[in-house]
Amino acid sequence: MLIHHIHTLVQTLPAETGLVRGAGMQTLPVLHDAYLLIEGGRIVAFGPMAECPARADVQIDAKGGMVFPCWCDSHTHLVFAGSRETEFVDRIRGLSYEEIARRGGGILNSARRLRETPEEVLVEQAWQRLEEVRGMGAGAIEIKSGYGLSEDSELKMLRVIRRLKEMSPMPIKATFLGAHALPAEYRDNREGYMQLLIERLLPQIAGEGLADYVDAFCEKNFFSVEETSRIIDAGARYGLKAKIHTNQFNSMGGIEACVLRGAVSVDHLEVLTDEEIACLAAGHTIPTLLPSAPFFLNDEHYPPARRMLDAGLPVALATDYNPGTTPSGRMPFVISLACIKLRMLPEEAINAATINGAAAMELSADCGSITPGKLANVFITRPMPSVAYLPYAFGSHVIERVLVKGEG
């Protein structure tokens, strides 16, 4: 398959680039007036139109549009049941996210609904969302459990994700987020719930290969740093690395515990101290920012991306698609928010949503750039005057066609 007459081929990185960091994130390599050759679902070559191969079984005319590598969305909760617009209205009337959670809404509200919903229905609904996000340019995605909060329902969620992995050509990573909220049945027995997660669920999940990572919501009124550390250590015993929700509302020491334990990523970071930035700079954990969560919660605390970039960090961006804090998997909007609210340059934000998102899912060998050998997960835009036009035109659908493994 040949894509020809590409006005700008974006993110043409050499194979050895695993991620980009700090000042390096301002560089987004492009090739103008280009072709892209795909074979067997992988990128085999690209170059200037002047050297375009004459023949190919399938030819796509990009008609002067741009071609990007698909987004790598490294943090979502795309399997869920029902919606939470009642809480959305409650917040408009003045209730806070934490207050709603304390009253038994929030994550526990989604857990009640998920428990009642049959596996097949969850598969069908999650599949629709997966198709929707693919249409908005996603080509690799991480999906978490965490709305089951019981043995049966956490396993049910992870089986739904396994089913999505079988159905979709997209690389999908599954994360076990049993430590998302303390279920009502364990209100007076935190230790019992921790034991359920660590001693009953983890061995089954690892045994059936149902998860690639473990996660915990390290936050006041959710899980402590000590509990989060226990989850990470238990995951490690089963060969599961960690991707952890931390510093969404409070800085409690979660970053240090995660970096020390070699977590793949720490996610949210709306509240982040200089000491924590220094700690990240000394480690290998990828800071992943989810700006549509504070946007949707109308929280003035956005992650301090500029300070992080100045410290040389490899920032990633993800959607956090979930029914509570981000009922949207629209990565182009996340990139616009990163530019507007986090003051990231368009090049930095696109790096964060492609190559660094791939790194945050350990998919750098297959995804995140236009590189021979990687999967042909690319999207074609309508003609745009520049790369910066994509975050600038925040309400427009500039993505016209999405190919995953060369198909679509």
- Contact residues: ligand NIG, CB under 6 A: 106-107, 110, 217, 245, 248, 293, 320, 322-325
Minimum distance between the CB of residue 196 and ligand NIG, rounded to whole angstroms? 19
CB atoms near residue 65 (< 10 Å) = 22
110 binds, among ligand NIG, Fe ion, none (CB under 5 to 8 A by kind): ligand NIG
Q: Does 219 bind Fe ion (CB under 5 A)?
A: no
Report which residue's Cβ sits closest to Fe ion.
320
Q: Does 320 bind Fe ion (CB under 5 A)?
A: yes
Minimum distance between the CB of residue 354 and ligand NIG, rounded to whole angstroms? 21
Choice between 285 and 322, CB closer to ligand NIG: 322
283 binds, among Fe ion, ligand NIG, none (CB under 5 to 8 A by kind): none
Contact criterion met (CB below 8 Å) for 36 and 91:
no
Minimum distance between the CB of residue 221 and Fe ion, rounded to whole angstroms? 16
Minimum distance between the CB of residue 29 and Fe ion, rounded to whole angstroms? 31
Minimum distance between the CB of residue 105 and ligand NIG, rounded to whole angstroms? 9
Q: Does 347 bind Fe ion (CB under 5 A)?
A: no
293 binds, among ligand NIG, Fe ion, none (CB under 5 to 8 A by kind): ligand NIG
Choice between 85 and 407, CB closer to ligand NIG: 85
CB atoms near residue 80 (< 10 Å) = 25
Q: Which of residues 39-98 bind Fe ion (CB under 5 A)?
A: none
Minimum distance between the CB of residue 30 and Fe ion, rounded to whole angstroms? 32
248 binds, among ligand NIG, Fe ion, none (CB under 5 to 8 A by kind): ligand NIG
Choice between 243 and 245, CB closer to ligand NIG: 245
Minimum distance between the CB of residue 46 and ligand NIG, rounded to whole angstroms? 36
Minimum distance between the CB of residue 125 and ligand NIG, rounded to whole angstroms? 15
Choice between 110 and 351, CB closer to ligand NIG: 110
Choice between 110 and 229, CB closer to ligand NIG: 110
Choice between 37 and 107, CB closer to ligand NIG: 107
Binding residues vs Fe ion (CB under 5 A): 320
